[in-house]
Structure formats: structure tokens, C-alpha cells
Amino acid sequence: MSGRRTRPVRLGPRAIAALVLISAIGVVAFGWPLLAGADSGLAHSQDAPWLFAALLPLLVGVVVAMIADSGLDAKAVAMLGVLAAVGAALRPLGAGTAGLEPMFFLMVLSGRVLGPGFGFVLGSVTMFASALLTGGVGPWMPFQMLSMGWFAMGAGLLPGPDRLRGRAELLMLAAYGFVASFAYGTVMNLYGWTIVPGLGSGISFQPGDPLPENLVRFLAYCTATSLGWDLGRAVLTLVLTLTIGATLLKALRRATRRAAFEAQVTFDASGK
């Protein structure tokens, strides 16, 4: 039993379809202002409630699809709740301090061990719980939930879960966490950049302008406003993964083995 490999939670066709649908909606929600006309009346604060209303049932749909495809049970839901609570508790520890957010490394390791589908739901639920805990509920919350879901899902999509272990795995996870921390900040910048009033002619979003020109302004905006914050998040994620990542990976894999999420229930015909 102790030598058995821990496999990520399997993604069946229904779970994949649900993830593709929710991700497509997210891409549209983030990116539509880039393609909108100058007179479109951009207002993420108005479309956020609609996105949130679509996001919650779709998250439930992902969980239901994973239960149907992989046979997850109450133990999986309990682990989801525990990890989300830990992640939500970690977020306030570094909030407002140069991007130092320790919850990100937990999402990387959890997504790696439990798989992309579980990781997406965990990332989204964790961000929702942390927003309630810190009073950070606002029009940005559904966008944060999507971004964190993608962040944790990406860790579950990394190659070699059955073969790559030890130092090589930690280095891969640390590298992913470093790069994905910048990606998270960049995606969230896209939400804020399109609704913030002009900061200067060189970096402001100009509705209706050609996409390449706005993308150049967006890169300048990211560099000027959030590069230092994203760097702090990326470095902390890298350092925590390399220092305590091995211990947490072992703990998560041990808990997953004991939970035996995909174990098939059998009945003794003799009644004993």
C-alpha cells in the first residue's frame, strides 16, 4: 500500500467539457473589451454579476462531472474544503505587502497532486472563500476566481506525474509557479486596465483602437504598475516550493492515498 503511486483525479469527458465551457466564458469575459468599439460603454462592474452567476453553477457542474466520471465521494469534497480553508487563511498573511501571497504555492502543489479539474475548482473556491474572509468582495471577485482556477489547473496539466519525482519535480513546479504568478497578475491586469481612467497617453486603454496598439499599451501598463508586485509573488512561490514543497507534496499524496478517491466499492456476496 505504501508503495502505490498517487494518481491525480482523472478527468472524464463530461468534466473536460465543463472545464472547456467555463474557460471559454472566462476568456470572453476578460477579453471582450479589447474587441469592443469606442461607444460600447465598457463596464466590467456591470458584467461581473452576470459572470459570477454563470460561474457558480458551472463550478458545481465541474464537481458533479468529476463525481460522475471518477467516482469521487464525500472524502474528496472534504479535502476540497480543507485545502480551500487553508488557502483562504494563507492569503491575508501577505496581503498588501509587495505581492507576498503564500496561498499561490499551495495551489501549485495541490493542483499537481490532485489534477487539473480538482485544481480548478479548488483555486476558484479558495479565492471565493478568501474574498469573504478579507472583505474583498467586489466586481473583481469572479475574475479572480477564474484566474486562480486557471493557475491551479495549469499545475495539474504539467507533464510526468507518474515518472517525474524528487528534485526534478520540485524544480519544475517552482519554475511553473514563478512563471504562472506573472501570468496571473497579467490576466488580472487585463480586467483592471480596461476600466481604469486614463493614466497617461502611453499606457491607457483606448476603446476602438486596433488590437496590436492596445496590446503594446497593455504591456507598458503591466510594466509600470504591477511588475514589482508580480515579482514578489513569483519569488515567494518559487522559494516556498523549493524549501517546503517536498514535505507538502508527501503529505498531500499520503492523504490522497488514504482517501482512495477512485477506489471501487465492492460487496461481499456472502454477507460477512
pLDDT per residue over 230-249, tens digit each? 999 999 999 999 999 999 99
Q: Which residues of the chain have pLDDT under 70?
A: 1-7, 37-49, 69-73, 94-99, 161-162, 196-201, 259-272
Is residue 1 in a domain? no
* pLDDT given for residue 48 in this prediction: 62
pLDDT number for residue 268 = 47
The range of the structural domain enclosing residue 173 comes to: 13-259
pLDDT for 211: 87
Q: What is the pLDDT of residues 11-31, one digit of tens each?
A: 788 888 888 988 998 898 888
What global pTM score does this model have? 0.84
Residue 227 domain-assigned (yes or no): yes
Return the pLDDT at 172.
95
Any domain includes 267? no
- In this structure, what C-alpha cell is assigned to residue 125? 473556491
Q: What is the CATH number of the domain that holds 19?
A: 1.10.1760.20
Assess if residue 77 is contained within a domain: yes
CB neighbour burial string for 56-84, b if at least 16 within 10 angstroms, e if fewer: eebbebbbebbbebbbbeeebeebbeebb
> How many distinct structural domains can be found in the chain?
1
Residues shown for the chain: 272
